[in-house]
Chains A and B, each alone.
Chain A
Amino acid sequence: MHTRVNLAGVELKNPVMTASGTFGSGAEYGEYVDLNRLGAVVTKGVANVPWEGNPTPRVAEVTGGMLNAIGLQNPGIDVFCRRDIPFLRQFDTKIIVNVCGKTESDYLEVVERLADEPVDLLEINISCPNVKEGGIAFGQDPRAVEHITALVKKKARQPVIMKLSPNVTDIGEMARAAEAGGADILSLINTLTGMKIDIHRRAFVLANKTGGMSGPAIKPIALRMVYQAAQAVRIPIIGMGGIVTAEDAIEFILAGASAVSIGTANFMYPDAAVRVIEGIEAYMEKYGVEDIGELVGAVR
């Protein structure tokens, strides 16, 4: 029995990774989980220069989930290359760098800077709902998706994951656009735009007014979108959105995801990703699944 998966030529020991922005660069959670157990660590979005992010409150709880409007605070690519990549290199796990930007050239600058760095995959975030420029603006129009994907592919030395937004009418169309632009892999979903109002203060709970919703409550929507994307393209898909348990993860795999990301669940259980890995192994054993690939897209 084995859980190995191959994503655009990169072999992961198992299909479980941590979702961008929920796990930093692994240093803090590394005190709670053995990073060597993870298929990959996906880092917090990094830009060409440091970003201060949004004012607080940046998070709010909603029933079965949360809203966040961190605003892609990050220390910039220089600090990231100097500190975070060497840290992650100490572990037997793949490194996936999540890239954000306000303009095309911001993205390309980071992608070029990473060309000679020992990282395995790039994940291009064209779906952050919490920054005014860039981010989601690139992710809601199929022509823009194809265009930015093609630009990134031209410069990238590592295989490219395009991270799609769920805040669109037809996810299949976006998935096809990214594939047409040359994407090697897709990941979805990023957060769903939401809002919370404090009726006693008669004010928005988040300083940013709106935020991205994540956590268990969004799982059915995420699963439906992963299924639709998987029907629309031939490239592998990393599924995420509300995964807490191995059962959740297996649903995504059956719907067509080759790998899964654990995001908000880390806040609930710091060892959530390892629990998911162990649960997937137990499931495979129980049903006599030899190769996890047998499960990918098995439900049509």
Chain B
Amino acid sequence: MKRQIEAEILSQRRLAPEIYDMRIEGGEAAKDARPGQFVTLYCEDGARILPRPISICEREGTRFRLVYRIAGAGTREFASYGAGKKLRMMGPLGNGFPLLNKRAILIGGGIGIPPMLELMKELPGEKTAVLGYRDRELFLRDEFAAYGPVATATEDGSAGVRGNVLDAIREQGVEGEVIYACGPTPMLRAVKEYALEKGLLCYLSLEERMACGIGACLACVCRSKETDEHTGVHNKRVCKDGPVFEAREVEL
């Protein structure tokens, strides 16, 4: 049986303003985790009842590394905890990225960057990371560089190419056969359009508000092109059927 566990925080540090890096003991279930999957963390404060989904940034044995941004009261609560604290957690959840042996472009925008790190590590073929940041707080960038070339874009032009991830791809002539991307929806829309234009295979990791996190409540759906086999309608569950979808499958 799968379980919600009491997961112990092993360490926590601040990576950049509002960005935290937490290592947490995931137990036996963690061993099967794939890049692109996520966990849900639960708050101790009873006012906040719903789980917070956070992507797996890295996995080593039974340990997870989670990198997250303070977005509200729940993530602020998590950031206040240090080593030794236990948090209720479920996961790994969701499908994860397919590991294809093709020349790959890994695109991460903002807080969509963390899940691309484990993927960068595990993809078997040639790969380039394209990372989009707001400013010169280039969290995790150097860690990607250990596994392949990295192109950087910043909105304010303080590092790399000024502009967005697609500007970086075009300016630096990044090429590949498959795109993997995670980031804000406008970015994903633009990436999908680019992939269709170039005829590339493209996998997008989507985000939606969740309640159960395991596919039961139908809170977290996205629009699908075809009638989904499980739901019987044009909806797929981001938590269970996703968060990763082939770009042509979903409408953004």
Question: 13 more A-B contacts (CB under 8 A) besides A24-B218, A58-B209, A73-B233?
Answer: A22-B217, A28-B214, A31-B2, A52-B234, A56-B220, A59-B209, A59-B219, A60-B209, A66-B211, A68-B219, A74-B232, A79-B232, A267-B49
A277 to B166 alpha-carbon distance, docked (Å): 55
From the candidates A21, A61, A79, name the one contacting B217 in the complex (CB within 8 A).
Answer: A21
Over the window 74-85 of chain A, the binary record of Cβ atoms lying under 8 Å from chain B Cβ atoms (1 yes, 0 no) is 111001000000
Please name the residue on chain B nearest to A52 by beta carbon. Answer: B233
In the complex, chain A residues 23-51 whose Cβ is within 8 Å of any chain B Cβ: 23-24, 28-29, 31-34, 44, 50-51
Flag whether B208 is at the interface (Cβ < 8 A). yes
Q: Measured between alpha carbons, how far is A70 from B42 in the docked complex, in Å? A: 22
Cα distance A68–B218 when bound, in Å? 10
Task: Please indicate the chain B residues that have their CB under 8 angstroms from the CB of A34 in the complex.
Answer: 1
Is A56 a contact of B221 with CB atoms below 8 Å?
Answer: yes
Asked if A266 CB lies within 8 Å of chain B CBs, one says: yes
Is residue B46 contacting chain A, with contact meaning CB distance below 8 A? yes
Which one, B46, B212, B222, contacts A28 given CB within 8 A?
B212
Is A32 in contact with B233, judged by CB distance below 8 angstroms? no
CB neighbours (8 Å) of A268 from chain B are 42, 49-50
- Give Cα distance in the complex from A254 to B235, angstroms: 42
In the complex, which residues 184-203 of chain A have their Cβ closer than 8 Å to any Cβ of chain B?
none
Residues of A within 8 A of B221 (CB): 53, 56, 58, 73
On whether the beta carbons of B47 and A64 are closer than 8 Å, the reply is yes
Q: Is the CB of B1 within 8 A of A32?
A: yes
Contact call B218/A73, Cβ cutoff below 8 A: yes
Which residues of chain B have a CB within 8 Å of any CB of chain A? 1-4, 42, 46-51, 90, 208-222, 230-235, 240
- The reply to whether the CB of A270 lies closer than 8 angstroms to some CB of chain B is yes
**Chain B residues within an 8 Å CB radius of A74:** 232
12 A-B interface contacts by CB (under 8 A)? A22-B212, A28-B212, A28-B214, A32-B4, A53-B221, A56-B219, A59-B210, A61-B49, A66-B50, A75-B230, A268-B50, A270-B4
Residues of A within 8 Å of B, CB-based: how many? 41
Tell yes or no: A165 within 8 A of B by CB: no
Closest residue of chain B to A18, judged by CB? B216
B220, B221, B234: most-surrounded residue (chain A CB, <10 A): B221
Q: How far is the CA of A6 from the CA of B210 in the complex (A)?
A: 36
CB < 8 Å neighbour of B211 from A33, A59, A64, A269? A59
Smallest CB gap from B46: residue in A: A64
Is B49 touching A75 in the complex (CB atoms < 8 A)? no
B234 contacts A267, CB within 8 Å? no
Which of A23, A70, A76, A216 makes the CB contact (< 8 A) with B232? Answer: A76
Interface positions of A (Cβ within 8 A of B): 21-24, 28-29, 31-34, 44, 50-53, 56-61, 63-66, 68, 70, 73-76, 79, 215-216, 264, 266-271
- The interface residues of chain A lying within 8 Å CB-to-CB of B219 are 56, 58-59, 68, 70
Bound together, the chains give a CA A102 to CA B252 distance in angstroms of: 29
Q: Contacts A31-B214, A268-B42; is A56 near B49 (CB within 8 Å)? A: no
Q: State whether B211 touches A28 (Cβ < 8 A).
A: no
A132 to B235, CA, bound (A): 20
CB distance from B18 to the nearest CB of A (A): 16
**Is the Cβ of A29 less than 8 Å from the Cβ of B209?**
no
With CB as the reference atom, state the residue of chain A lying closest to B237. A28
Contact of A75 with B232 at beta-carbon distance under 8 Å, contacts A59-B209, A266-B212 already known: yes
Contacts of B46 in A (CB 8 A): 64, 216
Contacts of B208 in A (CB 8 A): 56-57
Q: Which residue of A lies closest to B232 (CB)?
A: A75
With contacts A22-B216, A268-B49 known, is A75 near B4, CB below 8 A? no
CA separation between A123 and B112, bound complex, in Å?
Answer: 43
- Give the distance to chain A from B189, nearest Cβ to Cβ, in Å: 15
A76–B2 CA distance with the chains assembled, in angstroms: 29
Tell me the minimal C-beta distance from A117 to chain B in angstroms.
17
**A50 to B233, Cβ gap below 8 A?**
yes
Which among B216, B222, B234 is the interface contact of A24 at CB below 8 angstroms? B216
Cα–Cα, bound, A31→B90 (Å)? 12
Shortest CB distance A286–B (Å): 25
Q: Is the CB of A32 within 8 A of B211?
A: no
CA–CA, A64 to B220, complex, Å? 20
A52→B251 CA distance, assembly (Å)? 15
